Amino acid sequence: MNKLTTASYFFLALGIFTSVTILGAYQILYMIPIAYYTFMAFKNKDFRLPRSAWFLLAFMAVALLSLVVNYELLPRPGKNFGRLKYYLFGFSGIFVLRVWLKDASDKTKTFLVNTFLVAIAVAGIYASYTYFTNDRGRARGFTDTLRYGYGSGMILLTLLGCILHRHRLSSWFNWRLGIVAFACGFCGLYLSYTRGALLGFLCGLPFVLYYYRAKLGLTLGGLSLAAVVGLAAFYFFGTGNYNSRFLMNKDNNSDHIRKSQWQAAIIAVKEKPILGYGLSNYHSQLKRIKDQFDLNAKHYNDAHSHNLFLEVASGTGIIGFIIFLGWVISWALEVFRAKGLVRALIIPFGVAFVSSSQFEVTFDANNASMIFFIYALSSCFTFNEKKAA
């Protein structure tokens, strides 16, 4: 089972920034250790899990119920029910990682970490290449522009933290390769001109630096805040656009579409406030809502809400939304209370996740797989630290 788990993690490391197909191999293989170790945990009555994991399990139950009661409204039920696996990976992945982290050799961990770093570097190089070879005016990663940009904005903060704290990490982290991966990844992120992703990165960066050098973090955090405030002021009060997505004011087509998506999601919540329209089923009601309430961007009628929290609320109702917030908040508290590297590496990731999720549904196949793996991994370490204390 240990080898099968390792194989699944290989495809995860390789596929997050390169291929949905490769990532599919991870999902298929991972279901076996997920089922096995979850069964063993319940058989042995080993229910030692952080509070956030129970919130996640509760949310999964509500999401399942939302799909059952809205079954007739689901255009492709298999796709909606299939999305439950990401939450399962987050919950049951804790059982798997507890065993794998103890049994896997340093050589195996080195190989997987290096695979991930190479994948980040190659994806960044490819994205940068597309910027200079297409006429779109922005980079396009192997996994498209938005999911590449938002995923990079989150994981590059953790990678930077690993580089800064390299002397405190195990021997299986190659910090030189990490620097190459960070440089290539940041170039790809910037050239993708994904504004929400870059905002998430800027919000998380002061936390990376603060947990490395407090004064440095506070100083550069102030500069980062000034940059964010400056961009925000230009966005709300600027009178022109300067051929840069980072210097766009509020009067642009992209944001008009995003606002209409938010408005439609809020209306969907009002229409079905208890359990919503079903997990990830907001899109099936979008055209009707825009026509009925005469919203803008009626041509943009088969997409998500461009906000993870509104997507959750419109899909699983107020009940699901509250439980989902419980998961996010409890995870944040668990990580914040942790010691050492867990807090230094995961808090910035979480800040970027929450910030950027205000502008995009970050639970696409690639990023959901990464986020819930990071969650399960951090939960293992926070539990071990609490037990040791």
| Residue positions counted in the chain | 389
How far, in Å, are 160, 193, 202, 355 from residue 206 at the CA level?
12, 21, 7, 14
Decide if 125 contacts 132 (C-beta within 8 A): no
Half-sphere exposure (Cβ direction) of 127: Cα atoms closer than 13 Å: 34
What pLDDT is recorded for position 388? 40
Per-10-residue mean pLDDT, the chain, length 389: 95 96 96 95 87 97 98 95 96 96 93 97 97 88 93 97 90 92 97 92 92 80 71 59 56 78 95 96 94 87 88 97 98 91 95 95 95 96 56
What pLDDT is recorded for position 251? 61
> How does pLDDT run across 310-337, given as a tens digit for each residue?
999 999 999 999 999 999 999 999 999 9
What pLDDT is recorded for position 48? 86
Domain ranges of the chain: 2-237+302-388
Tokens 């076996």 sit on residue: 32
Helices (DSSP H) in the chain: which residue ranges?
2-15, 20-43, 51-69, 77-82, 84-103, 106-133, 145-164, 175-191, 195-210, 214-237, 253-271, 283-292, 308-337, 341-356, 365-388
What pLDDT is recorded for position 83? 96
> How does pLDDT run across 44-81, given as a tens digit for each residue?
888 889 999 999 999 999 999 999 999 999 999 999 99
Look at residues 177, 176, 119 and name the one whose alpha carbon lies nearest to residue 152: 119
